[in-house]
Amino acid sequence: MLCIISVVVVFKIESRAYLKKFQKSNGWHINWNEIPKNVEVYALALKDDNTIQGLVGIKNDKDSHAVYLHWACTAPHNNKHEYGSQKYVGVGGHLFAIVADKSVEWGYEGAAHGFAANEELLEVYHYEWNET
């Protein structure tokens, strides 16, 4: 059964030690504590219990006047592309909304750039970005 996330919070994760919980070995695609220090990590979590539903790493790219999207990843229990099912829908769109919001906050009018791991994921990103 799919549920729609209705009440979420977004917060910046300041502690690299906290990020050790989110590792490639437990379904997060990368070891989040190993991303560059200049990349800010934001979590999308349920408001009631702060259960993290996805993470996004971004950098203020002043040279390109845009947000650089370093990595975006849903929690393993929300990743239908890898695991065939998801607990909550809309997490990817919410992660891209965080990127767009930071871009506006930093004065870039929503501009963002980044890379996808493969062509299939690029199509997912393209879809998610256009849905926000």
Alpha-carbon gap, residue 132 to 130, rounded angstroms: 6
**Residues 30-62: tens digit of each pLDDT:** 999 999 999 999 999 998 888 999 999 999 999
**Residues 15-30: tens digit of each pLDDT:** 999 999 999 999 998 9
DSSP 117: S
> What predicted TM-score, i.e. pTM, was given to this entire model?
0.85
Alpha-carbon gap, residue 77 to 55, rounded angstroms: 13
Burial class (CB in 10 A: 0-12, 13-18, 19+), 91: buried
Which secondary structure element, helix H or strand E, spans residue 114, and what is its range?
A: strand 112-114
Alpha-carbon gap, residue 96 to 85, rounded angstroms: 20
Q: Which amino acid is at 4?
A: I
